[in-house]
Amino acid sequence: MNLLDEHGSSLHRMLGRITRCEHTAGDLLQDLFVKLVSTKGIEKADNPYAYAWRSAANLAFDWRRKRKIQTVTLDNAAEICDQSSSVIDKIIKNEQLEHVLDSISGLKELDRNVIYLHYVEQLTYDQIAVRLDKKASHLRSTCSKAIAKLRDIVSKINSTPIKKEGSKSA
């Protein structure tokens, strides 16, 4: 399949950025290849790369929704310590990124894809339009509305009080 030879590395990079795990990205890429070979959808698609990209993004965000929230392990803490910033700053930034990615996972498919492509991949709306086979003006509006939704979701997460263990509910 020429599509996978030509775009496999960019699909793998995208999967890695969303999952933040190299092994998972490789597994999801294999799942994507199997899905593309076993279904007829890509043969009917006007833009096979856009079809493959959307399928890969769906796999990655589905994986994020299904997995348990991971805590910082000793291995993660050691990796964080090897870098120049303070450990606590790295842990906080890592946790914030996880919250944002998990929040993006809850958005509609088009919303999350536009946010990912514009803010993570740093693509222009014209480039996103080509990739998703949509109009740039529609994607600009979609992104603006999706960011508003994302802000609401994140603000609700940040304002939710944490119940202390052993405390009684009213």
Please write the tens of the pLDDT for every residue from 68-100.
Answer: 544 444 455 555 445 545 777 777 777 777 878
Highest mean pLDDT out of 65-79, 105-119, 152-166: 105-119
Residue 169 one-letter amino acid = S
Tell me the CA distances in angstroms from 164 to 123, 158, 161, 169, one per residue in order.
43, 16, 9, 10
Q: How many residues are listed for the chain in this entry?
A: 170
C-alpha 111 chain-centroid distance? 11
Q: Stretch 136-163: mean pLDDT, rounded?
A: 82
Residue 159 pLDDT: 67
